[in-house]
Amino acid sequence: MSGEYILEIENLTKDFPGVRALDNVNLKVKKGEIHSLCGENGAGKSTLMSVISGVYPKGSYEGRVFYKGKETAYHNVKDSEKERLAIIHQELALSPYLSIYENIFLGHMKTSFGIINWDYYIKESQKYLARVGLKENPATIVSRLGVGKQQLVEIARALSKQVELLILDEPTSSLNDDESAKLLDLILEFKKQGITSVMISHKLNEILKIADTVTVLRDGKSISSFDVKKENLTEEMLIRDMVGRNITHRFPERNSVPGDTVMEVKNWTVYHPEYHAIKVVDNVSFNLRKGEILAFCGPMGAGRTELMMSLYGGSYGSRSEGELYINGKKIQLDSAKKALDAGLGYISEDRKNLGLILIQDIKTNISSSSLGKLSSFGIVNKAKEIAEAERYRDELQIKTPSVFQLARNLSGGNQQKVVVSRTLLANPDIFIVDEPTRGIDIGAKTEIYNILNDLVKQGKSVIMISSELPEALGMADRIYVMNEGRIKGMLRHDEATQEKIMHMALVG
Ligand SMILES: Nc1ncnc2c1ncn2[C@@H]1O[C@H](COP(=O)(O)OP(=O)(O)OP(=O)(O)O)[C@@H](O)[C@H]1O
Ligand SMILES: [Mg+2]
């Protein structure tokens, strides 16, 4: 094995019951480079990284992995950590109720005569927090931090173990533009310090910005590897290899003629769940028409999710004030069940905590908001349940051998498709979708856009929270811009631009 490569994978094959997740994969990662891995949902990216880092032990796959010139035979993640290899998973893995510094040093603190020197570790942690640019008190409980900061804590943890190969699985999927840019800079900074990174991402612009080499996986196979600079790599070249065809219309055309107002919100204010005096949403008013797609844009923490969740039966906040009208009738929704009955449906951004029941199968997850519809005399019609689940599997191309598969065995993007299917089956009049395409590949994104367009064509209405401005611009009839809990302005489809949205968010 040559010294040029820190990681070499030869003919790797990994099977799960009924699925060949990796099929004879070959990959070479140069020492000190940023290597990006891309491919559609279910292509095998996360599985490949789990093999490399010992999540799947030696013996559970075929083929060989060489790291720093030696063939690996890890039994678990601990083994790879000892070799200074660290993986930051797609779903973060911190202990939410422990402090920052405890999370950084958890499992690798030294004791002297059985006593841990806490002061020492608090000081030490500051060193690593500085390296990732996190200015929090190390004693802060992790659950108090937003996802962006939690991720930096995970990276600080990797640094504390003198990481040489850092694997990041979709690190920017839950971050806003600003946080993402900072994280990418950090990865570039690590490169200067000699750390090799492997980054999985669906955001091709990010990949092109920082990667030295890009490898494309498709259906578990390694399709191509590009030297970004030498080959003048473009997004189109990557897409072609990812999907095996050209995608032209990323935002399908739509002739929209919104009708009467179906939902109106007046002077809506929401109070923080713990600090009851703090207004998270402040005096917000907006309306939604039949057959309309509204987008809510704004920086992370603008209060968009909090606003929508509080409207959805008070699912957020200690209390809320204001008025909500549905079809001209003032109503009070004090539970998610009532919201559903009133014709609202919610697709959550947080699929792990709110969206999916991981230990249940796909069909149960899809049917769980529609049991009334699928039952007669109080008994669920199993055949109907399966048929509906199959229908969505086909429509959204959920990659799985069967609808009896447990949700936790799906790839991240395919889990998201299950969450979307459930709300589609429930068939509400008003869809509230929070970051509907997070972690979803380019082909499936277009599918979801088509579905949203079909819904409004049928006379449904959609409220979409989106952090991807091109998506909001491409899809919405009107865009509301929020910041600091308030609506800063509204733009019609024909007048909206990225610059105007950003300007509005900051200046108002
Ligand atoms: N534990 C498991 N049991 C059964 N099948 C699995 C398991 N883990 C992954 N798979 C399957 O292996 C394939 C590859 O999944 P993987 O998570 O590696 O995809 P991915 O490329 O990371 O996709 P995404 O972009 O959606 O995160 C998928 O078909 C998935 O359903
Ligand atoms: Mg994945």
167 is a domain residue: yes
Whether 283 and 203 share a structural domain: no
Taking a C-beta distance cutoff of 8 angstroms, is the pair 13, 23 a contact? Answer: yes
- Judged by average pLDDT, the poorest of 37-46, 433-442, 477-486 is 433-442
pLDDT band at 248 (very low <50, low <70, confident <90, very high): low
Question: Do 111 and 197 belong to one domain?
Answer: yes
**478 in ligand 1 pocket by Cβ < 6 Å?**
no
Pair (204, 68) in one structural domain: yes
Give yes or no for residue 369 CB within 6 A of ligand 1: no
Residue 136 within any structural domain of the chain: yes
Specify whether 137 is located in the same domain as 174.
yes
Q: What is the mean pLDDT of residues 385-395?
A: 94
Q: Is the CB of 46 under 6 A from ligand 1?
A: yes
Burial class (CB in 10 A: 0-12, 13-18, 19+), 205: exposed
How much is the pLDDT for 99?
A: 94
Distance 73 CA to ligand 1 centre (A): 22
Q: Do 256 and 218 fall within a single domain?
A: no
Q: Please give the tally of structural domains in the chain.
A: 2
pLDDT one-digit tens code per residue, 366-379: 999 898 889 988 89
Q: Would you say residue 351 has pLDDT above 70? A: no
Q: Are residues 231 and 272 in the same domain?
A: no
Q: Between these two residues, 401 and 246, which has the higher pLDDT value?
A: 401
pLDDT classification of 201: cutoffs 50, 70, 90: very high
CB of 218 shorter than 6 A to ligand 1: no
Q: What is the DSSP string of 186-212?
A: HHHHHHHTT-EEEEE-S-HHHHHHH-S
One domain for residues 261 and 337:
yes
Q: Ligand 1: which of 351, 397, 399, 410 to mutate, most ligand atoms within 8 Å of CB?
A: 410
Do the domain assignments include residue 272?
Answer: yes
| pLDDT at residue 265, rounded to an integer | 98
Q: Assess if residue 121 is contained within a domain.
A: yes
Measured between alpha carbons, how far is 135 from 130 in angstroms, rounded to an integer? Answer: 7
Query: Which residue's CA is the nearest one to ligand 1's atom 27?
Result: 412
Tell me the pLDDT band of 354, cut-offs 50, 70 and 90: low
Per the model's pLDDT, the better-predicted residue between 27 and 445 turns out to be 27
Q: What's the rounded mean pLDDT across residues 351-380?
A: 86
Residues in the 5 Å CB sphere of ion ligand 2: 46, 411-412
Q: What is the mean pLDDT of residues 453-475?
A: 92
CA angle 430, 444, 27 (to 5 degrees): 150
Is residue 318 within 8 Å of residue 309, measured between CB atoms?
no
pLDDT tens-digit map of 1-12: 557 999 999 999
**Which domain-ending residue is among 243, 260, 295?**
243
Residue 477 covered by a domain: yes
How far is residue 281's CA from residue 508's CA, in Å, rounded to a whole number?
16
Q: Of 225, 243, 261, which one is at a domain's C-terminal end?
A: 243
Task: Using alpha carbons, list the distances in angstroms from residue 305 to 176, 293, 345, 346, 491.
Answer: 14, 17, 14, 11, 20
**Is the predicted pLDDT of residue 247 greater than 60, yes or no?**
no
Nearest CA to ligand 1 atom 12: 21
pLDDT digits (tens, 9 = 90+) for 429-454: 999 999 888 878 877 788 889 889 99
Task: State the pTM of this model.
Answer: 0.77
Evaluate: CB of 44 within 6 angstroms of ligand 1. Answer: yes
Note down the domain range covering 55.
5-243
Atom of ligand 1 nearest to the CA of 50: 18
Is the CB of residue 41 below 6 angstroms from any atom belonging to ligand 1? yes
Same domain, 17 and 124: yes
Alpha-carbon distance values, 386 to 17, 77, 367, 370, 419 (Å): 20, 37, 9, 13, 16
d(CA 32, CA 29): 9
Q: Express each pLDDT in 210-244 by its tens digit.
A: 999 999 999 899 999 999 999 999 988 898 888 87
What number is the average pLDDT over the span 256-268? 92
Query: Do 190 and 162 belong to one domain?
Result: yes
One domain, residues 34 and 143: yes
Predicted confidence (pLDDT) at residue 355 exceeds the cutoff of 80: no
pLDDT above 80: residue 273:
yes
Please tell me the distance between residue 11's alpha carbon and the centre of ligand 1 in angstroms. 18
Lowest-confidence pick of 16-20, 54-58, 120-124, 246-250? 246-250
Which residues have CB under 8 Å from 323's CB, separation 6+?
A: 264, 265, 266, 267, 268, 330
Q: Is residue 358 part of a domain?
A: no
Residue 493: predicted pLDDT:
93
Q: What is the mean pLDDT of the chain?
A: 91
Q: Is residue 52 lining ligand 1, measured as CB closer than 6 Å?
A: no
Query: Which H or E run contains 5?
Result: strand 5-16
Contact partners, residue 193, CB within 8 Å, separation at least 6:
none
Q: CA-to-CA distance for 103 and 123, rounded, in angstroms?
A: 14
Q: What's the chain's Rg over C-alpha atoms?
A: 24
Which ligand has the shortest distance to the CA of 39? Answer: 1
Q: What angle do CA 139, 168, 26 make, to 5 degrees?
A: 155
Do 124 and 182 have their domain in common?
A: yes
- pLDDT tens digits, one per residue of 67-111: 999 999 999 999 999 999 999 987 778 898 999 999 999 887 777
Would you say residue 350 lies in a domain? no
**Residue 19 CB less than 6 A away from ligand 1:** yes
**Ligand 2 center to residue 321 CA distance, Å?**
40
Q: Domain of 322: which CATH number?
A: 3.40.50.300
Please tell me the residue having the least CA distance from ligand 1 atom 8.
Answer: 409
Are 284 and 269 in contact by the 8 Å Cβ rule? The answer is: yes
User: Taking each helix axis from N to C terminus, what angle separates 442-457 and 235-243, rounded to the nearest 10 degrees?
Assistant: 80
In this predicted structure, what is the pLDDT of residue 68?
96
Share of the chain above pLDDT 70, in %: 97
Our measurement of the distance from residue 283's CA atom to the centroid of its chain's CA atoms, rounded to an integer in Å, reads 29
Same domain membership, residue 196 and residue 278: no
Choose which residue among 411, 418, 420, 437 to substitute to test ligand 1 binding: the one with the highest number of ligand atoms within 8 A of its C-beta. 411
Of the listed ligands, the closest to the CA of 217 is: 1
Work out the pLDDT band at 43, boundaries 50, 70, 90. Answer: very high
Higher pLDDT, 302 or 287: 287
More confident: 74 or 177? 74
349, part of any domain: no
